[in-house]
Amino acid sequence: MRFLQVDTLEDARQKLLDEAKAWLPATELLPLPQAAGRILAQDVYAANNSPHFRRSTVDGYAVIAKDVQGAGESIPSFLTVVGAVEMGKGADFAITSGQCAEIPTGGMLPQGADAVVMVEFCETFGDDEVAVYKAAAHGDHIIQIGDDMRAGALLLPKGKRLTPQDIGALAVAGAKNVSVFALPKIAFISTGDELIVPHYNPLEDGKIRESNTLSLAALAARHGYDVVQTLSVPDDQYTIKQAIKQAMEICDIVAVSGGSSQGKKDMTADIIQMVATPGVFTHGIAIKPGKPTILGHDETSRTLLVGLPGHPISAMTVFELLFGWLPPNLTGAAENFPIPAKLTTNVPGSDGKTTCCQCKLIFEDGAYTAHPIFSKSGLIATLVEASGYFLIDRGTEGLHKGDNVLVYLY
Amino acid sequence: MRFLQVDTLEDARQKLLDEAKAWLPATELLPLPQAAGRILAQDVYAANNSPHFRRSTVDGYAVIAKDVQGAGESIPSFLTVVGAVEMGKGADFAITSGQCAEIPTGGMLPQGADAVVMVEFCETFGDDEVAVYKAAAHGDHIIQIGDDMRAGALLLPKGKRLTPQDIGALAVAGAKNVSVFALPKIAFISTGDELIVPHYNPLEDGKIRESNTLSLAALAARHGYDVVQTLSVPDDQYTIKQAIKQAMEICDIVAVSGGSSQGKKDMTADIIQMVATPGVFTHGIAIKPGKPTILGHDETSRTLLVGLPGHPISAMTVFELLFGWLPPNLTGAAENFPIPAKLTTNVPGSDGKTTCCQCKLIFEDGAYTAHPIFSKSGLIATLVEASGYFLIDRGTEGLHKGDNVLVYLY
């Protein structure tokens, strides 16, 4: 085993990204209705102009602008109605000087017409004559061909997280299936002789309810992972090894949350070293909480292996800072928008470590304040108050009341 | 039919909320792994203390603090080791003065012990003696019973949107299933003779690719609706009526996006009046875009009916402002955190209407700037640039470059 010195958060992220880039992420074709929220794996170009015909934006009469030049309330222009455009149909006739055609909103302009006059300014006479009481300029009330999008033009770039309006735009652009990055498959294995399934009763002495696989799975799903397995196993090297090996066969990432004892942590590193080649590439990260973190990889099965601390807050923090950070950096998607906020109290840093501080956001007087939540890493109940977290750089002694922080939301 | 005057956005929201409260939302019991992101329908109390036994936070020796009073590097206290606590097991022995017990991190303190000394400060002699080189205070390195949560105490309040850490906390609290608000069932029906399915080719003259059901469905899913049906039908009163009636049987909300012609809009209102009793309660809302919006309800089937404008941006805006607003206000959940940003250009308001302005957010120098996106409501491609939107009050002439706005994210 290579014993490495503790990595900074930046170094660990970069190593993780480099390894992940070698195998991840795969892409998949999805029909539009399933692609919302997913990240485009290739540039998308419009397959057609939109609109692909000149559309009227009002109900009225398609005219030749020159014919109604100077028309007004007291001096109407009289035109002959030579047809009526039907919604959803081609306009299979043309108009020439002195002629016009009835047209609905969204209807196709007949050849020859170059403006539309709203019906409110027109008056019909007999079957085929209309008085137009308003002048129109060339192009009035018309959406020209390609005004929305041009055939062959870039509509959405690779790496775009698809919003609801993107899905609509893709439909208009004639897309059927889109290529998006596949969700990395992940398994969570929680280890510990003390763990029992959450709702098991009675709660015997020495036992605790296993919660890491549940909170980590929810966190992973939020960050765009496909959680394919969650498992709780006792502190037995053979059992843990078998569980990891099985998960490696079906997953891109296997995350093991250990107990909190020093001996046990070493066991996870040893096991990763046994099942994976080349194995561990990071052992210890300068973050607080979460220092005892292990990162490894196996080239044969193309799996990333992670040893997370066992304490709930530490495990979630490490997962968030590494694997919440990974997907946008792997796919080129924009990260979520962190929220600027003013600190309400002093917060100490941690010598040489990046500190992750949970906080509650409160909106007052048009701005946010961040109220730090201090808690022991073995506890979880205090975390239910947290809106998100901010980071304190490892070079910093701490932050002061009134300082600005950037809060990442849960 | 009751012809009503145009509602303000606030009035329309309040009416919608009042109607929705009469029938929505139902609740459902979900197992923890499925409850992340959902909204609690009742307060949750801890079923047990956590921890329910005194836990050590370090590897070391459980001692009686008094016994190691004054101990230091040069004057160790000598104690007799009377047992070793095993992980996940009860400590079925007690210690008395002069005695101690080996204990792992997370292990249960034996009766009598009131502190733990870290293994680093202890040295064993023979089989059953240990020299302790450090004093300990009562309670050192111990998580007391109920430190994380107390049995019977409120853990999470009704209306809380469940974060990943909430799911973990619920597990620790012994919850098995949780009662959450059910996702309101919604159907989208797009009407228009000009509509063809998105990827249909060739694109004939006069036709446009239907996109509203796709973008609206994605938007609805994001806001916690269960989209059970999307449908595109021609402009035929009988067909539309049948489609709405069928959807009413299986949905809580039926949203019809119409074409853009005046005649057609009236048709939607007329049809809602035919199929629903008491029918339309709002016809026209003072928002831009989106004025021609219809809200109605049917008491027998307990369905809300909505007529949305046909233009993509208008339809999405109306849905967002009404039905994106509804769920948190119906369930008591906190709304998402809007982001304060500085406007980069002047934006005109709209006389008497609340204006919804799409914008792109850019983060620079520790703060956000909002870059308004101006586009015709019939187009959709410009919207792919939008990070979110802000509102301009109907009392306002407009906003100025440098003004602060609150941006709601897509």
**Going by C-beta distance under 8 Å and a sequence separation of 6 or more, which residues neighbour residue A260?**
A309, A310, A311, A378, B57, B105, B106
**Beta-carbon separation of B88 and A193 below 8 A:** yes
Quote ipTM for the complex. 0.94
CA distance A1 to chain B (A): 25
The separation between the first and the last C-alpha atoms of chain B, rounded to the nearest angstrom, is 36
- CB-side exposure of B139: number of CA atoms within 13 Å? 4
Under DSSP, the state recorded for A285 is B
Residues of chain A in contact with residue B215, where contact means CB-CB under 8 angstroms, are 164-165, 167-168, 171
**Beta-carbon separation of B194 and A87 below 8 A:** yes
CA distance A295 to chain B (A): 23
**Structure-token match 């540039």, residue found:** A43
Residue type, B79: L
**Beta-carbon separation of B172 and A368 below 8 A:** no
The residue of chain B with its CA nearest to that of A103 is B261
- Going by C-alpha positions, the residue among A243, A180, A245 that lies closest to residue A33 is A180
- Give the distance between the most distant pair of CA atoms in chain B: 97
CA distance B189 to chain A (A): 15
**Beta-carbon separation of A37 and B222 below 8 A:** yes
**Beta-carbon separation of B168 and A212 below 8 A:** yes
Residues in a beta bridge with A250: none
Under DSSP, the state recorded for A94 is B
Residue B259 has what pLDDT? 53
Joined tokens for residue B7? 């509602």
Indicate whether A297 pLDDT > 80. Answer: yes
Instruction: Give CA–CA dist A87/A109, Å, rounded.
Output: 11
The residue of chain B with its CA nearest to that of A175 is B199
Residues of chain B in contact with residue A32, where contact means CB-CB under 8 angstroms, are 198, 214
Q: Nearest by CB to B260, from A90, A105, A173: name it.
A: A105
Instruction: Give CA–CA dist A56/A163, Å, rounded.
Output: 28
**Beta-carbon separation of B165 and A210 below 8 A:** no
Q: Which helix (H) or strand (E) holds A409?
A: strand A404-409
Residues of chain A in contact with residue B154, where contact means CB-CB under 8 angstroms, are none
Residue A261 has what pLDDT? 45
**Beta-carbon separation of B165 and A215 below 8 A:** yes
Reduced to 3 states (helix: H, G, I; strand: E, B; else coil), residue A223 is coil
pLDDT tier at A394 (50, 70, 90 boundaries)?
A: very high
- B164-172 vs A212-222: helix crossing angle, rounded to 10: 170
CA distance B259 to chain A (A): 8
**Beta-carbon separation of B163 and A37 below 8 A:** no
**Beta-carbon separation of A168 and B88 below 8 A:** no
Residue A262 has what pLDDT? 52
Span A255-270, pLDDT tens digits: 999 853 455 556 899 9
**Beta-carbon separation of B378 and A206 below 8 A:** no
What is the dihedral angle through the alpha carbons of A114, A119, A125, A129, rounded to the nearest 10 degrees? 10
Span A119-136, pLDDT tens digits: 999 999 998 999 999 999
Joined tokens for residue B327? 């769920």
Q: Nearest by CB to B209, from A171, A366, A383: name it.
A: A171
Q: What is the pLDDT along chain B (410 residues), one digit of tens a residue?
A: 444 579 999 999 999 999 999 888 899 999 999 999 999 999 999 999 999 999 999 999 999 999 999 999 999 999 999 999 999 999 999 999 999 999 999 999 999 999 999 999 999 999 899 999 999 999 999 999 999 999 999 999 999 999 999 999 999 999 989 999 999 999 999 999 999 988 888 899 999 999 999 999 999 999 999 999 999 999 899 999 999 999 999 999 999 998 544 555 568 999 999 999 999 999 999 999 988 899 999 999 999 999 999 889 999 999 999 999 999 999 999 878 999 999 999 999 988 999 999 999 999 988 999 999 987 766 888 889 999 999 999 989 999 999 999 999 98
**Beta-carbon separation of B260 and A215 below 8 A:** no
CA distance B277 to chain A (A): 31
Residues of chain A in contact with residue B371, where contact means CB-CB under 8 angstroms, are none
Burial (Cβ within 10 Å: 0-12, 13-18, ≥19) of residue B16: buried
Residues in a beta bridge with B362: B369
Q: Nearest by CB to B172, from A160, A361, A380: name it.
A: A380
Exposure b/e, A273-304, CB count within 10 A at least 16 = b:
bebbeebbbbbbbbbbbbebbbbbbbeebebb
The residue of chain A with its CA nearest to that of B404 is A366
Residue A24 has what pLDDT? 80
Instruction: Report angle CA A314, A316, A318 to the nearest 5 degrees.
Output: 65
Q: Using H for helix, E for strand and C for coil, what is the string for chain B? A: CCCCCCECHHHHHHHHHHHHHHHCCCEEEEEHHHCCCCEECCCEECCCCECCCCEECCCEEEECHHHHCCCCCCCCEEEEEEEECCCCCCCCCECCCCEEEEECCCCECCECCCEEEEHHHEEEECCCEEEECCCCCCCCCEECCCCCECCCCEEECCCCECCHHHHHHHHHCCCCEEEEECCCEEEEEEECCCEECCCCCCCCCCCEECCHHHHHHHHHHHCCCEEEEEEEECCCHHHHHHHHHHHHHHCCEEEEECCCCHHHHHHHHHHHHHHCCEEEEEECECEECCCCCEEEEECCCCEEEEEECCCHHHHHHHHHHHHHCHHHHHHCCCCCCCEEEEECCCEECECCEEEEEEEEEEEECCEEEEEECCCCCCCCHHHHHCCEEEEECCCCCEECCCCEEEEEEC
**Beta-carbon separation of A206 and B89 below 8 A:** yes
Span A323-347, pLDDT tens digits: 999 999 999 998 789 999 999 999 9
- Across the A:B interface, residue pairs with CB atoms under 8 Å apart total 320
Q: Which helix (H) or strand (E) holds A355?
A: strand A354-364
Residue B410 has what pLDDT? 85
Residues of chain B in contact with residue A166, where contact means CB-CB under 8 angstroms, are 384
